Structures are given as structure tokens and as C-alpha cells.
């Protein structure tokens, strides 16, 4: 099933890259290296989802590979990357990894999530990596809430039940790899619409 899922994922990923491009990389700028990167990352994220869900662990082989590939991608593609530049990548790497590390201190997250976040920061840069983290936390929180309600109805809920977080981070990263810029623009546009609505209200004296 994993091998079949990987094959299907490669086809879907290639189609997404060639039809939608990558976040901050237009379709017209997509080259072979962009497709290779997307396929490698998609494979790593699939492994993260499966392994973390089964074992509550994210192997170093996954996080280190993502980290190395992310930096190589910045060098090979010469600026036509998801992250605007290496400075944004460095800031994103430190910011999200540090935030997750603080959450890991009381045991709310594992160190595997921290190392995974460091690679996300390199790939996405500091702006989009915030979206990756927020979306991952949101999806994980929704799943955890439904799981808690389900277990409570079954009378099997125990306080402190842990939910693997890596799968939702990986899914969030995969979504943002293609649509991160569009999602961020849509979200920020809500504030602009809100400001325009408030201006209209003030103009008409309501």
C-alpha cells in the first residue's frame, strides 16, 4: 500500500507542479529540479505521516534528508525557490524550530517535530513557514478534538492521550508547497476587506 501510494503521489505531485507551479515559483519558471524537489519532499512527507502515526517517532533520516535537500535546492535553482533567499530561510529555520522547541520542553511536542520544522523553515522562508506551522497546528487540533470526543463517547478517553503531530505538519507542508502563497494572500486579503468595510461605514456615518 505504501509503494502504491508513493507511485500515485508522484503522479499527483508532478501534475500539481506542472499545472500550478510552487509557492513563489510560477509555472513558467518550473524546471526539472523543481519537479525533483517536489517529488522528494512528497515522499519524505508520506513517510513522516505513516511512521509518526504508527510509532510516534520521526526518524532522523527523514528530517536530515529534508534539511540537506532544502539547502541544495536553494543553491541549484539560483533564487527560483519557494523561499525568497537564504536569509529568509535561515530566519524561518530558527523561528519555527525555536517555537516548537519551546513547546517540546513541557512535552507537548517531540524533538522530531522540532527537526522537521527546521527543514520547513529552509524550504519556505519565514513568512510561509508561519503558515505551515499554523495550518499544521490547526489540523492537528481539529483531529485531536474529534478523537477526544470519540474516545469519551466510547468511555476510553484518558487524560494525557498523545496525538502524533508530525502527520499534520507534513500534510500542511505539502499543501503549502503548492498553494502557500495563494492561501497567505487570501488570508491577508480578509484584513484588507475588513479595513475597506470599516472605511465605508465611517464614510456613511454609521
Provide the pLDDT for residue 200: 45
Render pLDDT for 114-133 as a digit per residue (tens, 0 to 9). 999 999 999 999 999 999 99
Asked, for residue 191, whether it belongs to a domain, the answer is no
* Band of pLDDT at residue 81, cut at 50, 70 and 90: confident
Number of domains making up the chain = 1
Place 110 in a pLDDT band, splitting at 50, 70 and 90.
Answer: confident
Distance (Å, whole) CA 204 – CA 183? 32
In a domain, 199, yes or no: no
Q: What is the DSSP letter of 56?
A: S
In a domain, 205, yes or no: no
- Rounded mean pLDDT of 63-86? 88
With respect to residue 148, please indicate whether it lies within any of the assigned structural domains: yes
User: At 59, phi and psi to the nearest 5?
Assistant: -60, 145
The mean pLDDT value of the chain amounts to 86
- For the record, the C-alpha cell of 135 comes out as 495550518
Structural domain that includes position 162: 2-180
Q: How far apart are CA 162 and CA 2, in angstroms?
A: 24
200 belongs to a structural domain: no
Can you read off the three cell numbers belonging to residue 102? Answer: 519551546
Per-residue confidence (pLDDT) for residue 21, from 0 to 100: 93
Look at residue 77 and tell me if it is in a domain: yes
Cell numbers found for residue 27: 509555472
Q: State mean pLDDT over 1-11.
A: 92
Angle at 93 between CA 91 and CA 94, to 5 degrees: 70
- Mean pLDDT to the nearest integer, 35-54: 94
Amino acid at each position: 500500500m505504501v509503494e502504491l501510494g508513493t507511485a500515485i503521489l508522484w503522479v499527483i505531485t508532478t501534475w500539481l507542479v506542472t499545472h500550478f507551479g510552487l509557492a513563489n515559483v510560477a509555472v513558467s519558471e518550473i524546471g526539472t529540479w523543481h519537479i525533483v524537489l517536489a517529488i522528494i519532499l512528497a515522499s519524505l512527507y508520506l513517510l513522516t505521516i505513516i511512521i509518526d502515526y504508527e510509532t510516534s517517532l520521526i526518524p532522523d533520516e527523514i528530517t536530515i534528508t529534508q534539511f540537506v535537500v532544502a539547502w541544495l535546492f536553494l543553491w541549484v535553482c539560483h533564487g527560483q525557490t519557494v523561499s525568497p533567499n537564504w536569509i529568509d530561510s535561515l530566519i524561518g529555520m530558527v523561528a519555527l524550530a525555536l517555537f516548537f522547541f519551546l513547546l517540546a520542553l513541557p512535552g507537548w511536542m517531540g524533538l522530531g517535530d522540532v527537526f522537521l520544522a527546521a527543514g520547513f523553515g529552509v524550504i519556505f522562508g519565514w513568512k510561509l513557514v508561519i503558515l505551515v506551522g499554523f495550518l499544521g497546528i490547526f489540523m492537528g487540533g481539529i483531529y485531536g478534538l474529534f478523537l477526544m470526543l470519540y474516545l469519551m463517547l466510547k468511555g476510553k478517553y484518558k487524560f494525557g492521550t498523545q496525538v502524533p503531530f508530525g502527520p499534520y505538519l507534513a500534510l500542511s507542508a505539502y499543501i503549502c508547497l503548492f498553494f502557500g502563497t495563494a492561501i497567505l494572500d487570501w488570508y491577508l486579503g480578509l484584513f484588507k476587506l475588513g479595513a475597506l468595510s470599516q472605511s465605508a461605514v465611517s464614510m456613511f456615518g454609521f
